[in-house]
Chain A
Amino acid sequence: MLSLKKPTLIKMSLYALFLGVVHSGYAADSSYLDRADRVNGWSTRSVFEPLYQKHRASVVEILEDGHQIALGTVVSEDGFIVTKASEFGMALEVRDAANQTYVPEFISVDPKNDLALLKIKADGMKPVQWSDDATPSMGQWMISPHEDETQVRVGVVSATQRTIPKKPGALGVQLMNVIDFLRFSSFKDFNEFRSKVDQQKRPVDQFLAERLSLDDLDQDSGEGENQDSPDVRILELLNDRIFRKTFVRGEQLEGIQLSKPTEELLAKEASQEEEDRFSYRSVLNLMILEDAFPELIIPQLKGGLITGVRPDSGAEKAGVMLEDVVVAVNGQNVMTSSDIIQIVQQHGPGENLKLQIHRGKQELVKTVTLGYFDTAFPELDVNIELSGDISDRRDGYQEVIQHEIPIPPKAMGGPLLDLEGRVVGVNIARYNRVTTFALPAALVRASIEKLK
């Protein structure tokens, strides 16, 4: 250190004192809670540092290509580690608290529970202590490692322990009934539409965007919502399974809503204006025509028209393209996009569906692996958009503990600890801004036994 002259020394001391006084005055502002003092502020959560440090060695990083993708929980001295299965491929590495890296000797996966068991060659690892508490109570404080596993975060058990049903998989496409498209575009058939598009030398999506607003499919307008009423609501019974509401403003198609027919809807439909009913008749006529004269093949009047393909979706990877018309799924013929959706909804992410497609004059078959619905269509759930980073697989769990500890997807696979340092569960999904799911200890232990 430098040798200081007396005046400098005095100046420095006074300055330090001044800073101290100013800072304490500022910090004592009682009308605003500083970030450090909030529940997950460093000052408050540092209270749990001693507790966490005792168990820090039971948490490892799971790496793929050198990047952390999850955490792992050590469950045996000889190196068994449990983590979230759906986050990775197979080229993994494990990094422990001492920063040593290992390549797992084996990896075993339980897809139903979204768990994977890894074994690394190590001795004297520190396994977690499992809790006997099968159902921690709502309001009970828990801690978990953050994605940076040297840091801890805290929160309470926030809702009832329960099953989370599996959401169906998604192709990753936007669909429209071919028949609706043709009617609103007033073309005789698809070939005429195609030639019009070719003549104008514009891509289909642009063409569609100009003529229609593609807010169709399952936009549920509930009762209390404030929505501008469109000019016309055309209500039609398409067949005994499907009721369609079409919203039109001026010449613009605002949206189409498909639903099951109900008494209420049928009554409303019957009382519509005559000219609106024309559209109902025209559709019905076409269907009657096809039934009566099956040899009159109008192939392009049926099926779902692909009006959008989501990036990175199963559909995109399989080579499904804009303008493709899906006429059958897994061998089952489909009349409308609703038919397609009904079939897709019976399958989960990871399953394959065979799509029979008409592309212009070509007939193709594409096999699509279904992805996660929320990943393909995040904008359909506003809470997803408001939640930042969330896990891809976040549903289909036999039983979960729901808590509010704010940790990101990369912290999944880490332990959920009570204030006694016992592991109550393993974090399995960052669901949204207010929710993280953990699989209860009993379920994880049962799965580990099967996987060994």
Chain B
Amino acid sequence: MRKTIVSLILLGTIWAQALICGADEPSVEVFLQTQRKVQAVLSKALESTIGVGSGGTGVIVSEDGLVLTAAHVSGEPGRRITCRMPDGKRVRAKTLGRFDHADAGMVRLEGEGPWPFSPLGPRKSVKAGQWCFVLGHPGGFDLDRGAVLRVGKVIFARSDTIRTDCELLRGDSGGPLFNLDGEVIGINSRIGDPLDDNYHAPIDAFHKMWDPLLAGEDLPNTRRGSDRGDLGVDVETHVKGVVVTRVRENTAAVDAGILVDDVILSVDGYSIDDSSDYRWAIGKNRPGASVNIEYLRGESTSELTVELGEAPRRGRWRRRGF
């Protein structure tokens, strides 16, 4: 009798648990639906996927020949490079801006359009668990083979990178990550050892840096060591922006009157989506640089101009005389 009760209770909890998180049950039907959606947008996606430079990939996103690719494929702004269309034709192009932090790069094709292109995915639309697909030229452009397709799922989406289980290789860099509507939601960036360690520059990084990239700007990276500006707060990713969880003593934040629970929404006009975004937006400045901070306190939004301090040295707790 007792055995039965215990088994029933244990089974009960497992069953209840399955109910709670059984939301997205996989099924053959889900796979077939994904296949239908991918195949419906595949030819357009293939038309807009091109070889960029000497062994990278890119995607055309406008009729007049704007191409998104990886920063490490396009390299320095203002260079002339060659791209390859799916039919093998070589097209000259010029490199535009570069955003190393997210590995986002832009290129402009030369010559008459109209070019076949893929639309961009909207802001804040990429979610863990969603189906997606990749096109690229692993191992280099191969006319007989064409671009290679991989279908997978988003594992996580951060402001500076998206991880999926679409296997990538050298040569795929700069190629497009699509959602099932055929919209570009990422650009292939790098891989780790395991087969499901594949990273992509998020389309949101392109959205947020669109104008500077288009204008050919070489955007700065997070600075190093004590040459990095610091506000003096600890933050956590919030529903919108980042929330201050601690204000450190004797810092620029104290002088500026920033309080715990303030939510930082943007820095110098750059919208902060998560703590990774925040670290870059502040850390790309030198100590002493003036930054404009938009923040939410309670119900009201305000702005501050703050002069950044110096990033703390490692082992700062030693200074407190332990």
Point out residues on A near B: beta carbons under 8 Å: 1, 3-4, 9, 12-13, 16-17, 19-21, 23-24, 27-28, 30-33, 35, 37-40, 43-44, 46-48, 51, 137-141, 154-160, 162-163, 222-226, 381-383, 386-387, 402, 404, 406, 419, 432-435
Select one of B27, B82, B128 contacting A30, CB under 8 A: B128
Contact check, A9 vs B2: say whether CB atoms are below 8 A apart: yes
Contact check, A419 vs B138: say whether CB atoms are below 8 A apart: no
Select one of A9, A28, A39 contacting B153, CB under 8 A: A39
Contact check, A404 vs B21: say whether CB atoms are below 8 A apart: no
The 4 closest A-B pairs by CB, nearest first: A20-B13, A222-B54, A224-B54, A224-B53
Contact check, B145 vs A159: say whether CB atoms are below 8 A apart: yes
Contact check, A16 vs B10: say whether CB atoms are below 8 A apart: yes
Contacting residues, chain B, for A162 (C-beta < 8 A): 144-145
A20 to B53, CA, bound (A): 53
Measured between C-beta atoms, what is the minimum distance from A410 to chain B in Å? 16
Which chain A residue has the least Cβ–Cβ distance from B81?
A224
Contact string against A for B residues 31-54, beta-carbon threshold 8 Å, 1 for contact and 0 otherwise: 110010011001000000000011
A224 to B171, CA, bound (A): 13
Measured between C-beta atoms, what is the minimum distance from B172 to chain A in Å? 8
Contacting residues, chain B, for A40 (C-beta < 8 A): 165, 195-196
Contact check, B156 vs A33: say whether CB atoms are below 8 A apart: yes
B contact residues, total (Cβ < 8 Å): 60
Is B168 close to A, CB under 8 A?
A: yes
Contacting residues, chain B, for A386 (C-beta < 8 A): 169-170, 191
Contact check, B75 vs A226: say whether CB atoms are below 8 A apart: yes
- Given A37-B26, A223-B54, A404-B148, 11 more A-B residue pairs with CB atoms under 8 Å apart are A3-B2, A28-B21, A31-B156, A32-B155, A33-B156, A39-B153, A141-B32, A158-B150, A160-B144, A162-B145, A223-B81
Q: A4-B6, A47-B26 are in contact. Are A159 and B148 (CB under 8 A)?
A: yes
Contact check, B35 vs A140: say whether CB atoms are below 8 A apart: yes
Which chain B residue has the least Cβ–Cβ distance from A386?
B169
Select one of B17, B39, B157, B195 contacting A433, CB under 8 A: B195
Contacting residues, chain A, for B157 (C-beta < 8 A): 31
Contact check, A30 vs B129: say whether CB atoms are below 8 A apart: yes
Count of A-B contacts judged by CB separation below 8 Å: 169
A381 to B171, CA, bound (A): 12
Q: A141-B35, A383-B138 are in contact. Are A24 and B153 (CB under 8 A)?
A: no
Contacting residues, chain B, for A141 (C-beta < 8 A): 31-32, 35
Contact check, A37 vs B129: say whether CB atoms are below 8 A apart: yes
Measured between C-beta atoms, what is the minimum distance from B239 to chain A in Å? 12
Measured between C-beta atoms, what is the minimum distance from B79 to chain A in Å? 8
Contact check, A419 vs B139: say whether CB atoms are below 8 A apart: no
Which chain B residue has the least Cβ–Cβ distance from A43?
B26
A169 to B94, CA, bound (A): 40
Is B151 close to A, CB under 8 A?
A: yes
Contact string against A for B residues 165-194, beta-carbon threshold 8 Å, 1 for contact and 0 otherwise: 101111110000000000000000001000
Is B152 close to A, CB under 8 A?
A: yes
Contact check, A434 vs B153: say whether CB atoms are below 8 A apart: no
Which chain B residue has the least Cβ–Cβ distance from A160?
B146
A406 to B2, CA, bound (A): 47
Residue among A28, A33, A156 with most chain B CB within 10 A: A33
Select one of B6, B56, B196 contacting A13, CB under 8 A: B6
Measured between C-beta atoms, what is the minimum distance from A42 to chain B in Å? 10
A138 to B10, CA, bound (A): 45
Select one of B9, B138, B155 contacting A435, CB under 8 A: B138
Q: A383-B138, A383-B170, A433-B169 are in contact. Are A44 and B54 (CB under 8 A)?
A: no
Which chain B residue has the least Cβ–Cβ distance from A138?
B149
Contacting residues, chain B, for A51 (C-beta < 8 A): 28
Contacting residues, chain A, for B169 (C-beta < 8 A): 383, 386-387, 432-434
Measured between C-beta atoms, what is the minimum distance from A139 to chain B in Å? 5
A32 to B32, CA, bound (A): 24
Contact check, B20 vs A28: say whether CB atoms are below 8 A apart: yes
Contact check, A139 vs B39: say whether CB atoms are below 8 A apart: yes
Select one of A12, A19, A48 contacting B28, CB under 8 A: A48
